[in-house]
Structure 1
């Protein structure tokens, strides 16, 4: 009897071990196998998404992080650190875009898995092989593309990594339903598409900032029913010539910003930012050379948005914001700011306060 019980116990243990081994296909179509939920994880990008989907407890297993993307929003970062001081103790691994990413540091942290954004994976090149040769599973996700397919798949992948598959499915489903509701309403009315221009306004009034073609704000504006004037000239992100903006004559302009910028007239938005200051900064962009001739300026259809609220699973609120900015009567029932804050209240341990969207 004892031998039979021991044999049965061995089978149960072996089955549990096999059940933990999971194979997924990441957003690049790569099949990767790892024990799920992962016990030692490095978060390369999308740190808030990782917590929203995986719960705060997911950070009990984060052993390293590319921290700059979070710390670039200092007030947001401080809000989280105040709630969970241990975040500040997580080792930083550097940045891919500035070539400070340290493979040696990553290996020294002995992770089971590193989660990277699509652009990080591509930027690391042959360093990916070094990570894999060290026995580290590399999983790629992507919210930057701002497509429904990649948003959903990335959310599901994080759900597997953190052992929160049901929560991930719920979040993904809510995102898909939000987008579907907006697009169905647009299809029924078949209104002409307004021309829209979005610019990251950190450089201030005197320098044209980055705009977006296929991804990020460009994709959001298109999904919400707009004619993105940057799309013919910019593939992903880049700068338009001032003459191109004037020639396109957008009906709506959105200037985005973080909590701080590089000049005194930078667009600022986000945690702790007073709306009156955000509006003042936004109004300053009217003073650009030639902009007084633009339809958006003449008709006071200028808006501000928080740059930290895109390329994330909770940018569904920004889809609502763009839809309402472009079609105010059609979407007058929407409350995008409430939707943004509600996501925090439902899925994150902190709730920000400040200005995340505004208009003149």
Structure 2
């Protein structure tokens, strides 16, 4: 009997060692490119190249503490108000090392290595752009995992979310998010398929340059892929492979029945389209109406029928684009989706999975 406490202590120590061993045991996961990557899960030190909000939404509270390196350039430049909101809610974000931007050609491998991450999580496009640097990361013992929301496909969105769940140790949370997204997409596609209505001719443009100059529209990816997913006929697809401006005359000839102008919070032109966090609806609507004044646009069916809409560019390339998909579908097929509130979908996602509220203008009917 006198040895019982020692036996209990030994058992407790053994269980603790077992738990520690389970934490540190290497696991093999498959990223979205089908690459087998071995790493310790959950990762305790994460270097993140892109998709900040997806990582935070999937990883929950602990994801903030485990983030040691981040490519901040694009996020801060395009969505500064959102970054400040996150940093105010989770001040440790300000201590995360900015490793530079692949997009802006300022990425620093030395800074990335100095963060001593357990894993580097890169977007597919970053992985390709850093092809010459990836071997150096791996030679330093840093596993590289690829995710991809840029493809804007259901398959890649779901796979990327589940991979983030594995990396953060939040597999159940990731599955809930993936299931919710899949349900939204399937509902849209099922209703459109069952209705068998003509596909509305659709045009979507990033309104960052204002009405005076046609900016990017999209062919097979990003907004173009999203329009296709919800059953629209993208009039730019025959002329634009990925993204770029369409010939204004060609657009007039295409006679789109529905037009979307996308915007960010941060704009450099006084009449550029502005959408997102902290943007009043009246201001977004004023800017949207400016696009209706373009030369020749008064003759477009979309403008004549009051089907000019604003959408939030900051919600693309993300699992958060579910609400934008709902809005595209509702604008294209109003009678099929009268029961859907895309704005509420967006706000609810933040309420459930992120530490800041979604307050602003994220979808907009220009009427």
Structure-2 residue corresponding to 1:288: 294
Residue 319 of structure 1: CA displacement? Answer: 1.0
TM-score (norm 1): 0.95
Structure-2 residue corresponding to 1:160: 166
Residue 20 of structure 1: CA displacement? Answer: 3.2
Cα gap change, 1:18/1:330 in structure 2, threshold over 3 Å: closer, same or farther?
closer
Structure-2 residue corresponding to 1:38: 43
Residue 135 of structure 1: CA displacement? Answer: 1.2
Structure-2 residue corresponding to 1:323: 329
Does the 8 A contact of 2:65 with 2:92 survive in 1? no
User: Residue 264 of structure 1: SS of its match in structure 2?
Assistant: coil
Consecutive unaligned residues of structure 1, counting only runs of 5 or more, are none
Distance 2:15 2:289 in 1: 70
Residue 169 of structure 1: CA displacement? Answer: 0.5
Distance 1:25 1:57 in 2: 23
Does the 8 A contact of 1:117 with 1:141 survive in 2? yes
Does the 8 A contact of 1:196 with 1:226 survive in 2? yes
Residue 235 of structure 1: CA displacement? Answer: 2.3
Once the two structures are superposed, the pairs formed by residues 107-186 of structure 1 within 5 Å of their partners are 107-186=113-192
Residue 244 of structure 1: CA displacement? Answer: 1.9
Structure-2 residue corresponding to 1:68: 73
| Matching of residue 334 in structure 1 with residue 340 in structure 2 | yes
Once the two structures are superposed, the pairs formed by residues 74-89 of structure 1 within 5 Å of their partners are 74-89=80-95
Residue 14 of structure 1: CA displacement? Answer: 9.3
Residue 236 of structure 1: CA displacement? Answer: 2.1
Structure-1 residue corresponding to 2:363: 357
Distance 1:59 1:122 in 2: 26
Residue 68 of structure 1: CA displacement? Answer: 2.0
Structure-1 residue corresponding to 2:266: 260
| Matching of residue 51 in structure 1 with residue 62 in structure 2 | no
User: Residue 213 of structure 2: SS of its match in structure 1?
Assistant: coil
TM-score (norm 2): 0.93
User: Residue 34 of structure 1: SS of its match in structure 2?
Assistant: strand
**Which residue, 27, 30, 33 being the options, matches 1:22?**
27
Structure-2 residue corresponding to 1:206: 212
**Which residue, 235, 239, 242 being the options, matches 1:236?**
242
Residue 317 of structure 1: CA displacement? Answer: 0.8
Deviates more, 1:273-282 or 1:289-298: 289-298
Does the 8 A contact of 2:258 with 2:332 survive in 1? yes
Does the 8 A contact of 2:149 with 2:317 survive in 1? yes
**Which residue, 68, 89, 101 being the options, matches 2:107?**
101
Distance 2:61 2:234 in 1: 37
CA distances 1:75-106 after superposition (whole Å, capped 9, x unpaired): 11111111112212211011112211000110
Distance 2:125 2:186 in 1: 27
Cα gap change, 1:14/1:57 in structure 2, threshold over 3 Å: closer, same or farther?
closer
Does the 8 A contact of 1:204 with 1:262 survive in 2? no
CA distances 1:3-47 after superposition (whole Å, capped 9, x unpaired): 9x79x9499649934873111111111111100000111111000
